[in-house]
Structure 1
Amino acid sequence: MPWNYRGIGWFVVFTVIVLSSLLLVKPYLPRESGGTASGEEIALPKPRFKGEMIVEEAILRRRSMRDYLPEPLKLEELSQLLWAAQGITSPDGKRAAPSAGATYPFEVFVVAGNVEGLEPGIYKYNPQRHSLMFIKRGDYRDDLERAALDQDWVGNAAVDIVLVAFYGRATEVYGERGVRYVHMEAGHIGENIYLQATALGLGTVAVGAFDDERVSEILGTEGRPLYIFPVGRV
């Protein structure tokens, strides 16, 4: 049977168009799961878009704080911190912190121990629904403290926010350069947490010294933890 070159040509053109479209939308497609959730979902209070402290004052007052009062955080405060870290800020799904190519390589985990209205446990933040996905019950702050080389502010904080990176989301698009972009993004998210905590009258500190594998094991994730942010009342 003779080849239909015209038909083959149109097929090739169609295939190229489809593949190109997939590459363009890939950063916006659902990501692989950062942890095994139990299926329980906790809706968070809606974040506020105006506060009592202007950004210039938050920048002026921002400090690393390691001493926290043994008082609980409000669920509204945790909600605001998570929104500042990775909350959705536009109709097309853009988030509070910039991300190269909108690849969003981070999952935000919460190790909660002393938050009003929230059972102690490990949770994962869902930016699209502004909710917490329940991972496992129990107060794991002491375990996280030991994994963080016995830095007691990790265990004394009301809650620990852990930034977990999935490098493949960035390297699939940018190759090895994507590793650098992931590290840049960690800084963007971290500063947002710092400034939001300051604006709320809370204290936090960026913790980078810990046993990566042990922290991943505690969280139940295959990602690479890059930052722990203990947060407490000061």
Structure 2
Amino acid sequence: MIKIELLAHVIGICLTIAIIVYILATYFLASRGAQLAPTPPLHEQPSEIRRVGDRIYLPLPRKITNVSVEEAILWRRSIREYRQEPLTILQLSMLLWAAYGVTDTVWGFRASPSAGATYPLEVYVVVGEKCVVIDNKTYLEAGIYKYDVYTHSLRLVKKGDFREELYRAALHQDWVRDAAINIVITAVFERTTRIYGERGAVRYVPMEVGHLGQNVYLMATAMGLGTVVVGAFYDNEVVKILSAPLEEVPMYIIPVGVPKTLRKTSFEEIQNFIERNRR
């Protein structure tokens, strides 16, 4: 009787060990597969968008490039010449998420730091005609959209291709007209100044706009796109084009498109440059 109980106990231990080994092996192989599986080209990624009334739910944020943060910083450039090619809806989704999207599910923190988490910025997208492809046959309708952070969606403000109007408001800078899209950032200063006073207006809000702009630069670079930040424009004209509330002050126009040329510096070049300067 004792031997039977002992044998049953040993068998139970062996089964437990086998189950643990199976779980660990499954997890290891799954994680290895995730690491080694190549990222599909952007045009082959599922669009995953839903339309509800005037709202478009964008593809959910995800890792889509194999570019390291070091490489994105190294290759970041201000690019003003673009091919007449569309962006994908996934690229647009990732640009907006990198700009101001949610990165914390507990506190609702966002991709760009904000003084006191006041988040004074609003994000618009001016989309050109046939400039954002959803699938092989469908394009995002040309128009002005406002980005909703917490649902990662776009709300259509008004239909039409307004790049020409934005180009004129931006002192006739060609890259605003030629880019597939323009991300336009406005600020509601009162969200920050009611806590920090004048310091919020002259320091914190402009700093936050800069953080956002750099995030767009780095995400665009990682996806092989080109962008440049624009600060020269007529504020009142931009507000009219966006149909934005008067409390919102335009801060940035950020054209994004497929670059005509793209030069990638290597770390070896940078290292050699630094070494020469040390001599």
Q: With the length of structure 2 as denominator, give the TM-score of the two structures.
A: 0.69
**C-alpha separation between the residues in 2 aligned to 1:50 and 1:193?**
15
User: 1:46: how far off?
Assistant: 0.9
User: 1:40: how far off?
Assistant: 1.1
Question: Is 1:232 matched with 2:247?
Answer: no
Question: Is 1:125 matched with 2:150?
Answer: no
**C-alpha separation between the residues in 2 aligned to 1:153 and 1:164?**
20
- Determine the structure 1 residue equivalent to 2:156: 134
**C-alpha separation between the residues in 2 aligned to 1:123 and 1:182?**
22
User: 1:81: how far off?
Assistant: 0.2
User: 1:50: how far off?
Assistant: 5.5
Question: Is 1:109 matched with 2:132?
Answer: no
Matched residue SS, 1:80: helix
RMSD over aligned Cα, in angstroms?
1.2
**C-alpha separation between the residues in 2 aligned to 1:50 and 1:174?**
38
Counterpart AA for 1:109:
Y
Counterpart AA for 2:111:
A
Matched residue SS, 1:154: helix
Counterpart AA for 1:212:
D
Higher relative contact order (CA 8 A, sep 6+): 1
Counterpart AA for 2:94:
Q
**C-alpha separation between the residues in 2 aligned to 1:43 and 1:122?**
15
- Determine the structure 2 residue equivalent to 1:68: 82
Question: Is 1:52 matched with 2:74?
Answer: no
**C-alpha separation between the residues in 2 aligned to 1:110 and 1:46?**
17
Following superposition, which runs of at least 4 residues in structure 1 exceed 4 angstroms of deviation?
none
- Determine the structure 2 residue equivalent to 1:158: 180
Q: Which digits, 9 at most, give the CA deviation of each residue in 1:209-233, with x for residues without a partner?
A: 0001100110011211111100000
Distance 1:175 1:93, change over 3 A: same
Q: 1:171 aligns with which of 155, 168, 193?
A: 193
Counterpart AA for 2:88:
K
Q: Aligned residues, how many? A: 197
**C-alpha separation between the residues in 2 aligned to 1:172 and 1:118?**
38
Question: Is 1:192 matched with 2:203?
Answer: no
User: 1:49: how far off?
Assistant: 3.3
Q: Which digits, 9 at most, give the CA deviation of each residue in 1:85-127, with x for residues without a partner?
A: 0100001210000000000000000000111131000000001
- Determine the structure 2 residue equivalent to 1:208: 231
**C-alpha separation between the residues in 1 aligned to 2:171 and 2:157?**
24
| Unaligned residue ranges in structure 2 (runs of 5+) | 1-52, 134-138, 260-279
Q: With the length of structure 1 as denominator, give the TM-score of the two structures.
A: 0.82
Question: Is 1:93 matched with 2:118?
Answer: no
Counterpart AA for 2:221:
T
Matched residue SS, 1:231: strand
Q: Which digits, 9 at most, give the CA deviation of each residue in 1:42-78, with x for residues without a partner?
A: 0100111352100000000000000000000000000
Q: Which digits, 9 at most, give the CA deviation of each residue in 1:136-178, with x for residues without a partner?
A: 0000000000000000110000000001011000001111111
